[in-house]
């Protein structure tokens, strides 16, 4: 088993620049709350996830949701991931996320 980690920080203003591409990055469920700081946190979580996986981002292969009030990640890829833990935070103009996963 391998432990992998990833972290990413995103400027909230980046989400405004991506307005025309949101459907290529976010699932409809993730777009239910369109506040830029919320979307920046999700974007950072997706980037952190793929950094931990050591792969190029495939944004729609990952869906970020809340389970019992805590961020969670669902992944539609082929890797055997035993466990994923994600943390997201945002403050003023930045959002940050970290991901820790166990690979079989």
Backbone angles phi, psi at 42, to 5 degrees: -65, -45
Q: How far apart are CA 1 and CA 27, in angstroms?
A: 30
Tally: H helices and E strands in the chain: 3, 5
Structure tokens at 79: 């890797």
Catalytic residue positions? 51, 90
Confidence of residue 37 (pLDDT cuts 50, 70, 90): very high
Q: Is the pTM here over 0.85, yes or no? A: yes
By the 8 A CB rule, do 52 and 100 touch? yes
pLDDT at residue 16 in the model: 87
Q: Say if CB 41 and CB 50 are below 8 A apart.
A: no
The CATH number given to whatever domain includes residue 21 is 3.90.470.20
- CB neighbours of residue 79 within 10 Å: 11
Q: Give residue-wise pLDDT tens across range 47-80.
A: 999 999 999 999 999 999 999 999 999 998 888 9
Q: Which domain holds residue 83?
A: 2-103
Number of domains in the chain: 1
Q: Please give the pLDDT value at position 13.
A: 95
Instruction: Confirm if 25 and 62 have CB atoms less than 8 A apart.
Output: no
């Amino acid at each position: 088993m391998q432990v992998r980690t990833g972290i990413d920080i995103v400027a909230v203003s980046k989400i405004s620049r991506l307005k025309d591409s949101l459907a290529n990055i976010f699932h409809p469920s993730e777009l239910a709350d369109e506040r830029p700081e919320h979307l920046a946190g999700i974007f950072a979580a997706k980037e952190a996830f793929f950094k931990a996986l050591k792969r190029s981002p495939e944004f729609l292969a990952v869906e970020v949701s809340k389970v019992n009030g805590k961020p969670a990640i669902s992944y539609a890829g082929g890797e055997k991931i035993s466990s994923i833990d994600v943390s997201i935070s945002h403050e003023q103009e930045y959002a940050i996320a970290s991901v820790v996963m166990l690979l079989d």
